[in-house]
Structure 1
Amino acid sequence: MKLLLDQNISRRIIPGLQIDYPGSSQVALLDLESASDSDIRQFALENDFVIVTKDSDFQEMNLTQGSPLKVIWVRLGNVDNQVILSSLVENRSRIQRLFEQDAVDCIDIHAVGDISADGSRAMGA
Structure 2
Amino acid sequence: MAIIASYEIRIITDENISWRLKKLLPSWDILPVNEIAPHERLSDIRIWQFAKANGYSILTFDEDFRELQNLYSFPPKIIWLRTGNVNTKAISDLLSRSRNSIVQFIQDYSLGVFELYL
- Provide the TM-score with structure 1 as the length reference: 0.81
Matches within 5 A, 1:99-110: 99-110=106-117
- Matching residue of 2:62: 55
| Deviations 1:39-95 (CA, angstroms, capped at 9, x unpaired) | 100000111111000011111101012222111000100111101011112211111
1:18, distance to aligned residue in structure 2 (A): 2.2
* Unaligned runs of at least 5 residues, structure 1: 112-125
TM-score computed with the length of structure 2 as normaliser: 0.86
Whichever residue aligns with residue 84 of structure 1, its letter is I
Q: Which one of the candidate residues 11, 18, 27 is aligned to 2:26?
A: 18
The residue identity in structure 2 corresponding to 1:13 is: L
Coordinate RMSD, CA, aligned? 1.3
Q: Identity of aligned pairs, percent?
A: 30
Name the structure, 1 or 2, with higher relative contact order (CA <8 Å, separation 6+).
2
Structure 2 residue runs of 5 or longer lacking an equivalent are 1-8
Alignment length (residue pairs): 109
> Structure 1: how far apart are the matches of 2:37 and 2:108?
32
Indicate the larger mover: 6-15 or 23-32. Answer: 23-32
